[in-house]
C-alpha cells in the first residue's frame, strides 16, 4: 500500500481512537508498517478492531501490528471458507501444480474467488453439492441430517 492509502487507514484509526495524533512521523511510520498490506483489508481490519467492546474506562489504541494481525485473520478466513475441492484446472506436473495452488490461494485470500475455474454441477459426474456434503460429513457439520456413526 502506498503512503496515501496508509494515511487513509491511519485517519480511520484516529476516528476510532481520537486520542491518537497524526503528524509527519506517524504518517511515515504507518506507511512503512502497512507497505505490504491490502488497503481494503486494512480498512476492514480497523472496523473489526474498533468494534470490539472495551471495559468502562479503557481507551482504545490501534497499532499497525494489530491491523496486520487482523488482515491475516481476514485472509485466513477467506481460505477456510472456500471449498478448494470445487476447483478445476489443476496441472498434472508437480511444479506447475504448486505454482497454480499458490496463485489460487493468493487469489482466494485476496477475495478474488469469482474468477477461479470451478466445478459446474451439471457438467461433472461428481457435483459440487456432493463434494460440499462430503466435506460437511467429514467435519460432522451436516445441518439438518443425522449422520450414522
On average, the pLDDT of the chain sits at 84
Q: Determine contact, residues 9/39, Cβ cutoff 8 Å.
A: yes
User: pLDDT tens across 33-88, in order?
Assistant: 999 999 999 999 999 999 999 899 898 999 999 999 999 999 999 988 887 777 77
Q: What is the pLDDT of residue 120?
A: 55
pLDDT higher than threshold 60 for residue 142: no
Alpha-carbon span 94 to 118, nearest angstrom? 20
100-109 residue pLDDT tens? 888 888 988 9
Gap between the Cα atoms of 1 and 92, Å rounded: 35
Rounded to 10 degrees, the C-alpha dihedral 115/116/119/122 comes to: 10
Amino acid at each position: 500500500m502506498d503512503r496515501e492509502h496508509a494515511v487513509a487507514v491511519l485517519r480511520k484509526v484516529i476516528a476510532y481512537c481520537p486520542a491518537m495524533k497524526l503528524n509527519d512521523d506517524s504518517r511515515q511510520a504507518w506507511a512503512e508498517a502497512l507497505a505490504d498490506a491490502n488497503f481494503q483489508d486494512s480498512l476492514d481490519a480497523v472496523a473489526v478492531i474498533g468494534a470490539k467492546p472495551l471495559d468502562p474506562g479503557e481507551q482504545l489504541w490501534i497499532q499497525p501490528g494489530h491491523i496486520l494481525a487482523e488482515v491475516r485473520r481476514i485472509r485466513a478466513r477467506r481460505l477456510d471458507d472456500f471449498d478448494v475441492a470445487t476447483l478445476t484446472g489443476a496441472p498434472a506436473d508437480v511444479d506447475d501444480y504448486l505454482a497454480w495452488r499458490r496463485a489460487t490461494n493468493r487469489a482466494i485470500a485476496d477475495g478474488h474467488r469469482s474468477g477461479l475455474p470451478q466445478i459446474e454441477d451439471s457438467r461433472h459426474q461428481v457435483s459440487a453439492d456432493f463434494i460440499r456434503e462430503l466435506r460437511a460429513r467429514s467435519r460432522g457439520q451436516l445441518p439438518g441430517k443425522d449422520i450414522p456413526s
